[in-house]
């Protein structure tokens, strides 16, 4: 176990919050974390797990690891979402453990969602491919595009990512409807919020459907043939969430037949299972790659320059740890029963 020295006393607080990070960050990232956490936060790192910690930072703790931490109060999953096996284990063995996510990559994911939307709406990739062969005809023939101003966007999920997508679409002059689990605080931009049971009626007005929901038992397979058939034509679909929220075969069929005019997809149905497989793994059993109306991205919504990414992760982790150390409400607490 690697022991990290406590921060120099800054405020005279004696009580400590004992925190352990199972997979140590790079030294520069750890030093940044230490520079922004409160002085009463004591951090250790490494594979050897102390038994006296209050907070564990890890995405997939085993039953044995959790059983060892006899005074554990909180688990911080250092990214968005809860792995299915972790959720099931916690519900079965530690249902009262406070679990938190980090949303440090929400800005990057929402930016990619907007990129996919604009690329799909303006048929950027087909035009680019033709123009690289000196073919100008798309300028004169009028390559099909969608004007977004004045259209209606339906955002499924109004969390850290969905709310940014909604605000960006509103800035483009779109009317925004959004589905969220709880309708409590008013959104930042003029957005009409709805509950999930209103989805069937909302689909018929969605010129743009953007999926930013977590994958749970409630959302898996949420968009299938019936829901796709309810969409107007033309319609653009963007999925920045998880592939299995949209049923695979109906999605492919709708794109192939033109029922869905275009799509920007960052999440898929089949992922590499090893580093060797990363160079040659089809993302679906259906040939989405053959369709000109699909913008394909290999689940890189939360990606940006690594140094920036990890610094932002450590900053968000510090915000959560400081809130816990001060007995304040920490951000992004997970409802294990809901799955997010």
Dihedral angle, C-alpha 5, 6, 9, 12, nearest 10 °: -150
> Hey, is 100 helix, strand or coil?
strand
Residue 233 counted as domain residue: yes
Q: Which residue has the higher pLDDT, 305 or 81?
A: 81
pLDDT of 2 strictly over 80: no
Is 14 contained in some domain? yes
Please give the Cα distance from 242 to 74 (Å, whole number). Answer: 26
pLDDT for 5 beyond 90: no
Same domain, yes or no: 113 and 161: yes
Q: Does 185 map to a domain? A: yes
Report phi then psi at 14, rounded to 5: -95, -35
Count how many domains the chain has. 2
Instruction: Looking at the structure, tell me whether residues 266 and 129 fall in a common domain.
Output: yes
- Per DSSP, the three-state class of 256 is helix
Is the residue at 286 inside a domain? yes
pLDDT of residue 244: 97
What confidence score (pLDDT) does residue 16 get? 92
Q: What's the chain's average pLDDT? A: 91
Regarding whether 193 and 78 lie in a shared domain, the answer is no
SS (H, E, C) 160-180: HHHHHHHHHHHHCCCEEEEEC
> In this model, does residue 136 exceed pLDDT 80?
yes
Quick check: is 339 in a domain? no
CA distance 141 to 132: 17
The closest of 27, 51, 167, 31 to 110, measured between CA atoms, is 167
Domain that holds residue 25: 2-104+306-325
- State whether 271 and 175 are in the same domain: yes
- How does DSSP classify residue 81? S
CA distance 86 to 58: 10
CB-based contact 213:201 (threshold 8 Å): no
Show Cβ contacts of residue 320 under 8 Å, excluding neighbours closer than 6 positions: 76, 100, 102, 330, 331, 332
Residue 301 lies in a domain: no
Pair 124, 7 in one domain: no
Same domain for 69 and 181? no
Residue 19 lies in a domain: yes
Taking residues 277-293, report their average pLDDT: 97
Same domain for 276 and 316, yes or no, is no
**In sequence order, which residues have a C-beta less than 8 Å from that of residue 302 and are 6 or more positions away?**
79, 80, 105, 106, 108, 109, 309
Closest CA to 315 of 55, 17, 30: 30
**DSSP-derived 3-state class of residue 314:** helix
Please check whether residues 254 and 314 belong to one and the same domain.
no
Q: Are residues 134 and 167 in the same domain?
A: yes
Same domain, 243 and 189: yes
Name the E strands within the chain: 2-3, 17-21, 41-45, 55-57, 74-77, 98-101, 152-156, 175-179, 191-194, 208-211, 236-239, 262-265, 294-296
For residue 71, what is the domain's CATH number?
3.40.50.720
Query: Looking at the predicted structure, is the pLDDT value of residue 1 above 60?
Result: no
185 & 199 share domain: yes
Listed residue (151, 209, 150, 207) closest to 179, CA to CA: 209
Domain for residue 336, yes or no? no
Q: Is the pLDDT of residue 224 over 90?
A: yes
Considering the domain architecture, whether residues 117 and 208 belong to the same structural domain is answered as yes
Q: Can you give the pLDDT at residue 183?
A: 57
The mean per-residue pLDDT over the stretch 178-198 comes to 78
The pLDDT value recorded for residue 246 is: 98
- Helices then strands, each counted (H, E), the chain: 11, 13
pLDDT recorded at residue 168? 96
């Amino acid at each position: 176990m690697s022991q990290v020295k406590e921060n120099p006393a800054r405020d005279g607080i004696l009580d400590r919050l004992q925190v352990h990070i199972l997979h140590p960050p790079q030294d520069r990232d750890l030093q940044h974390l230490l520079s922004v956490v409160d002085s009463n936060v004591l951090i250790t790192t490494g594979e050897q797990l102390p038994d006296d910690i209050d907070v564990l930072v890890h995405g997939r703790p085993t039953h044995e690891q959790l059983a060892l931490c006899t005074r554990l109060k909180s688990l911080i999953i250092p990214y968005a979402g809860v792995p299915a096996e972790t959720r099931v284990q916690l519900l079965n063995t530690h249902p009262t453990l406070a679990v938190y996510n980090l949303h440090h990559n929400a800005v990057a994911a929402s930016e990619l969602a907007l990129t996919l939307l604009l690329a799909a709406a303006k048929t950027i990739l087909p035009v680019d491919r033709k123009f690289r062969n000196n073919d100008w005809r798309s300028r004169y023939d009028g390559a099909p595009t969608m004007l977004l101003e004045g259209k209606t966007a339906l955002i499924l999920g109004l969390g850290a990512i969905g709310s940014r997508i909604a605000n960006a679409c509103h800035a483009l002059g779109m009317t925004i409807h959004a589905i969220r689990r709880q309708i409590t605080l008013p959104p930042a931009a003029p957005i009409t919020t709805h509950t999930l049971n209103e989805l069937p009626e909302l689909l018929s007005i969605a010129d743009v459907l953007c999926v930013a929901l977590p994958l749970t038992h409630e959302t898996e397979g949420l968009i299938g043939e019936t829901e796709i058939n309810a969409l107007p034509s033309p319609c653009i679909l963007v999925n920045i969430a998880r592939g299995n929220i949209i049923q695979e075969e109906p999605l492919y069929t709708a794109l192939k037949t033109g029922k869905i005019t275009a799509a920007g997809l960052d999440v898929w149905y089949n992922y590499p299972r090893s580093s060797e497989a990363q160079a040659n793994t089809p993302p679906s059993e259906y040939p989405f790659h053959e369709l000109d109306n699909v913008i394909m991205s290999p689940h890189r919504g939360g990606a940006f320059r690594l140094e920036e990414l990890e610094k932002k992760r450590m900053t968000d982790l510090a915000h959560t740890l400081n809130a816990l150390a001060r007995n304040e409400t920490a951000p992004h607490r997970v409802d294990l029963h809901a799955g997010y």
